[in-house]
Structure 1
């Protein structure tokens, strides 16, 4: 996806550097047909620029924050832990639900993410069908069923 979508509202921001995982995730979410506007970012630095409306996303505002962020941990430039820390330490973005979707099942990663304010931590299943079902369950809950998902009004 290109940055031309950046000016439109985004319901879900996927921060994932692995093309195959990103494609599977987006395909699983699109299959739900929730009318969700999706955007993918490939590294942590760009994710922060997108959410906070910094170059090259100066046409966006932090008030246009996504309703949900799916965040990988092992990202280039700025890792997922640092992205999570930045989002949850800023009053303007701390209410955005952030789901860590990582291949790491290390207890230290899980504990650190929750300590930083992650709303959920999900280990990516290796099996294709299990991966698809997991992503769809996340999407259904956070984008369709959960009350009050997204940033709270100021």
Structure 2
């Protein structure tokens, strides 16, 4: 399995801590790059950094929400290939449909129970760790 570079676009400090705790608990050797909103994430992606392998994106954020971020990302020829998974509490069907219309890779609801969260994150990173798109980089 490959070590992933994960861009987490999330404004909630507790959610950021939860993801980092989960990666650590699972003894995964992945790098998590944290951005508090879509604007900062776009600045990062357009900077002189190595692009992340995947993006975990919250929908409800200040400045530039997840859907607006996704719209901009998917229109950029240099960035649109990055697998982007929505990680949200929104079970709004309109949000779900709009994200898939924009070309999101996945839409995952954040469970209330931590054990379920760990299981979902483990499956996401396990899949992308062996995915051919990531392996070919």
- Normalising by the residue count of structure 2, what TM-score does the alignment of the two structures yield? 0.90
Does structure 2 retain, via aligned residues, the 8 Å contact 1:24–1:132?
A: no
Q: Distance in 2 between matches of 1:125 and 1:98?
A: 19
Name the SS of the counterpart of 2:133 in structure 1.
coil
What's the CA shift string for 1:98-135, capped at 9, x where partnerless? 00001001111100001111000001101111112111
Q: Distance in 2 between matches of 1:149 and 1:111?
A: 26
Alignment counterpart, residue 11 of structure 1, candidates 2, 5, 12: 5
The answer for the alignment partner of 2:99 in structure 1 is 113
Unmatched tracts of structure 2, length 5 or more: none
What's the CA shift string for 1:4-26, capped at 9, x where partnerless? xxxxxx71100111111111112
Unmatched tracts of structure 1, length 5 or more: 1-9, 54-59
The answer for the alignment partner of 1:42 in structure 2 is 36
Q: Distance in 2 between matches of 1:83 and 1:30?
A: 28
Name the SS of the counterpart of 1:112 in structure 2.
helix
Task: Report whether the alignment pairs 1:20 with 2:17.
Answer: no
Number of residue equivalences: 134
4+ residue runs of structure 1 moved beyond 4 angstroms? none
Does structure 2 retain, via aligned residues, the 8 Å contact 1:29–1:139?
A: no
Does structure 2 retain, via aligned residues, the 8 Å contact 1:97–1:149?
A: no
The answer for the alignment partner of 1:148 in structure 2 is 133
Query: How big is the alpha-carbon RMSD for the aligned residues of Structure 1 and Structure 2?
Result: 1.7
